[in-house]
Amino acid sequence: MSIDQEQLLGIAQAEREAVGRTIQYTPPEAWEAESGALGWRNRDVVAHLAASDVAAAAVLAGEAPTELDEYAKSEEGRGNPTLDGFNRFAVERRAQLPFRQVVREWGSAADLYLARASRVSGEDWKGRRIPWFAGDIPVRYHVQSRVSEWWSHGEDIRAGAGLEARIEHLPIYALNDLAIRAIPWALSVAGYSFRGKSVRIELEGAGGGTWHHGLAPREIPLEGRTENARIGGRGHPFAQVATRRVPAERFIEDGSLVIAGDEELATTVLSTIRVFG
């Protein structure tokens, strides 16, 4: 089930506030500690969010993302530009800044993004596409991707700061829904093609729901058609797999996720699923 415009904007606003509270509750000494994102300190995660949301607010308004342009002119950007390269570039630029300045930059950028998203017309919400790292995407999925990043990186900070996980249905559902919609793209990036096949995913608990999705671009399973593979289990572990924080095999082994039907196909879907470009 698609999330409508009003509901998704409400989820996004709530998630921005939740990340703000996570930053507020993180002990000062934890900002130099390793986060749940491999290779990044907790403060690096905030720097990454700041850069991403500055760029997101720009493209939503039809403006050029200045920092991306600056990266493109750098030595790496001219030679071998990658998303990981831009992330490193953006984090390193903020490494020596006062941390409060980085936090203010993120908060201001996130608020500007939400303000601009709230002014998107219903027509643009359904049909307009904007440029992003993995290619042009519809506005509604761009907003959903910001929710996904805020929740995921908020959890990275909480893990690095020793805070309890924040397991709430709506942001996790938004993340899982986006990851499932992106399955054909994720499979293609990994070099797979499964035309004419589909997967049914049934998740329980926070982030839970039911989806029947084709595995090739623009393929929608006919009503009543039997899926080729099935994935079930808990919504929160599925989100951890989709953000590539925990290997799917770990949750399959402990029963948090279960596979059925064509188990090899289901395993391939889980091993390639990703919510970030």
pTM above 0.85, yes or no: yes
pLDDT value, residue 1:
61
| 132 and 229 within one domain | no
Q: Tell me: the pLDDT tens digits for 154-191?
A: 999 999 999 999 999 999 999 999 999 999 999 999 99
| Cβ proximity of 246 and 221 under 8 Å | no
| 146 and 186 within one domain | no
Average pLDDT rounded to a whole number, residues 191-208: 97
Is 172 domain-assigned? Answer: no
Q: Which of 228, 226, 220 is nearest to 199 (CA)?
A: 228
Is 74 domain-assigned? Answer: yes
Domain endpoint, select from 138, 166, 194: 166
Is 15 domain-assigned? Answer: yes
| 196 and 160 within one domain | no
Identify the band that residue 277 occupies on the pLDDT scale cut at 50, 70 and 90.
Answer: low
Q: Look over the chain and give the mean of its residue pLDDT values, rounded to a whole number.
A: 95
Q: Tell me: the pLDDT tens digits for 35-73?
A: 999 999 999 999 999 999 999 999 999 999 999 889 989
pLDDT value, residue 254:
96
User: Domain of 209: which CATH number?
Assistant: 3.30.1050.10
3-state secondary structure of 196: coil
| 125 and 92 within one domain | yes
Q: Tell me: the pLDDT tens digits for 96-125?
A: 999 999 999 999 999 999 999 999 999 999
| 212 and 98 within one domain | no
Spatial distance between the Cα atoms of 238 and 217, rounded to a whole number of angstroms: 22
| 230 and 97 within one domain | no
pLDDT value, residue 104:
98
Average pLDDT rounded to a whole number, residues 14-35: 97
Q: How many helices (H) and strands (E) does the chain have?
A: 13, 6
Q: In this model, does residue 29 exceed pLDDT 80?
A: yes
Domain endpoint, select from 119, 138, 166: 166
| 136 and 42 within one domain | yes
| Cβ proximity of 114 and 12 under 8 Å | yes
Q: Tell me: the pLDDT tens digits for 215-265?
A: 999 898 988 889 999 999 999 999 999 999 999 999 999 999 999 999 999
Is 203 domain-assigned? Answer: yes
| 133 and 60 within one domain | yes
As for how many domains the chain has, the answer is 2
| 156 and 80 within one domain | yes
The residues near 82 (Cβ < 8 Å, ≥ 6 apart) are: none
| 206 and 152 within one domain | no
Is 173 domain-assigned? Answer: no
| 13 and 81 within one domain | yes
Q: Which domain holds residue 242?
A: 178-272
DSSP secondary structure of 41-58: BHHHHHHHHHHHHHHHHH
3-state secondary structure of 109: helix
User: Domain of 107: which CATH number?
Assistant: 1.20.120.450
Is 265 domain-assigned? Answer: yes
First to last CA, the chain: 23
| 15 and 111 within one domain | yes
Is 185 domain-assigned? Answer: yes
Domain endpoint, select from 146, 166, 186: 166
Is 208 domain-assigned? Answer: yes
